Amino acid sequence: MNPSGIINVTPLLTLEEATTSVQPVQMPSWQAFFSKYVLAAEGAVGNELLPASRLIPADLFTTEDGRAKITSLLVNMIQQYRSSPYIIMGTPFLYAGAANATSVTPAWRNSLWHVCYCADKLLQVLKQT
């Protein structure tokens, strides 16, 4: 799709009906277009969210102290900051690829978990753990 085009698909019209229904719009100004079409389609939005993620290194799972840090992080996310983490256990940890074979960071290959969350206040938690 180029910058001046739009893809609009409907099963309710034939090709001829669709061609007839889509005509160029002549507006006196951009403001007139914005007021007529954009503001009319305006919808409510929710809270601002900052999606973020962190890789959890496999080394943290090998010691009691490391596991306590992971637990503390998850508990703080849920209880203190009311964020539900999404834990992806699909990192390439077990893949025995050649080093530097791709642009993937070594941290990705050395991590067991990929934790995703909304970070509106969670940067404080990460600094504490």
Residue 56 confidence (pLDDT): 92
Strands (E), the chain: 51-57, 86-88, 111-118
CA distance 69 to 78: 14
pTM: 0.52
Q: What is the mean pLDDT of the chain?
A: 77
Residue 127 confidence (pLDDT): 61
Mean pLDDT of 89-103: 76
Per-residue pLDDT band at 5 (split at 50, 70, 90): very low
Residue 58 confidence (pLDDT): 92
Residue 76 confidence (pLDDT): 85
CA distance 58 to 113: 8
Residue 43 confidence (pLDDT): 65
CA distance 56 to 67: 11
| Higher-confidence position of 86 and 126 | 86
Q: How many CB atoms lie within 10 A of CB 71?
A: 11
